Amino acid sequence: MAITVVGSVAYDSIETPAGRRERCLGGAATYFSLAASYFCDVRVIAVVGEDFGPEQEAVFKSHSIDTRGIEHTAGKSFFWEGSYLENLNEARTHNTELNVFASFEPKIPEAYRDSEFLFLANIDPVLQRRVREQMPGVKLVAGDTMNYWIKDHRPALLAVLKGLDVLLINDTEARMLAGESNLVKAARTVMSFGPRFLVVKHGEYGATLFHGSGPKGKSAERTFRAPALPLEEVVDPTGAGDSFAGGFFGYLASQKQLAPGTLRRAMFYGSVMGSFACERFGTERLQEISRAEIDERFNLFRELTHLD
Ligand code: AMP
């Protein structure tokens, strides 16, 4: 099973209480791909500038991630600068430079066309939609977005949401998108925009899956909550959401059926990959996990939540 993902491949400058890193490899599609690569084949669509060299390419290659859809062009790669000094759950953006993404025309390599799964990682919704339209045969489409696009690119974003099966966003963004502060009501509104499944991420407090459409007031029948691992030290939360998405969607892609139990386990694998991402700066930890560590942490989550 293969997932095609479109999204940012970027350089990030990050400051957290644990320190600062300049221009490390990042981007939503990068975190997603690395996390998902532990579960299934991953194919990336993105654009990078002249500052993206063999060293960065090797990070993808060492996880057998197909990079034929990463276009190299003149100019600088996407750049994002953010900090988490007051709140580890929410990045403060200091600078976003789209650079080569500003004039990107996504092209799908022929070899990607048989992908059954498509992930529209965080990027301009216009680009997400162009990729979606070029992949009409996919079985399941999931996507992500952020405040930046919700605030100023709403019509384009609503057009993307119509074509999604699963949307993963954080709770502030879900409330912002719905214009509603109650999470259950916000979820209902967001799902009326298109997605059948909605995963709302709560940072260090875990994530909630909303699915189906039970009667009003019986929200518990339609929700599932997975915790996040209580970590003693969060070095860098950048990419935790994208890594959650990679674990969640990568696990779904590796399974034959989309049964309720599969979705619940996917929520746990999402939490597992999100927790790894926070342990070191940038993609450092995601690059070197073993399958045994993933299974071990999955079992830890089981223990964390099991009642008997
Ligand atoms: P996360 O912490 O999971 O929400 O995602 C962090 C990643 O998103 C960073 O590696 C950034 O490069 C990337 N990013 C930040 N802002 C944007 C944006 N406006 N569009 C696309 N990607 C972004």
- In sequence order, what DSSP letters do the residues of 232-290 get, joined into one string? S--S--TTHHHHHHHHHHHHHHHSS---HHHHHHHHHHHHHHHHHHTTSSTTTTGGG--
Instruction: Indicate whether 308 pLDDT > 80.
Output: no
pTM value is 0.95
Q: What pLDDT is attached to residue 137?
A: 93
* pLDDT at residue 136, as a whole number: 93
pLDDT class of 144 with cuts at 50, 70, 90: very high
pLDDT computed for residue 83 by the predictor: 97
Q: Is 172 in the pocket of ligand 1 (CB under 6 A)?
A: no
The rounded distance, in Å, linking the Cα atoms of 225 and 220 is: 10
In angstroms, rounded to a whole number, what is the distance separating the alpha carbons of residues 195 and 206?
Answer: 20
> What is the average per-residue pLDDT within 6-35?
97
- Averaged pLDDT, 15-26: 97
In 3D space, the residue among 143, 111, 100, 157 whose CA is nearest the CA of residue 6 turns out to be: 143
CA–CA separation, 142 vs 119, rounded Å?
A: 5
Q: ∠ CA 134-155-27 to the nearest 5 degrees? A: 60
Any atom of ligand 1 within 6 Å of the Cβ of 28: yes
Residue 214: pLDDT band by 50, 70, 90 thresholds?
low
Q: Which domains does the chain have, with CATH numbers?
A: 2-156+228-287 (3.40.1190.20)
Residue with the smallest CA separation from ligand 1 atom 12 is 27
- Looking at the chain, the whole-number percentage of residues with pLDDT higher than 70 is 97
Strands 207-211 and 197-201 turn out to be antiparallel
Q: Which of 169, 172, 238, 278 to mutate to test the pocket of ligand 1 (most atoms within 8 A of CB)?
A: 238
Query: What pLDDT score does 219 carry?
Result: 54
Whether the per-residue pLDDT at 78 is higher than 60: the answer is: yes
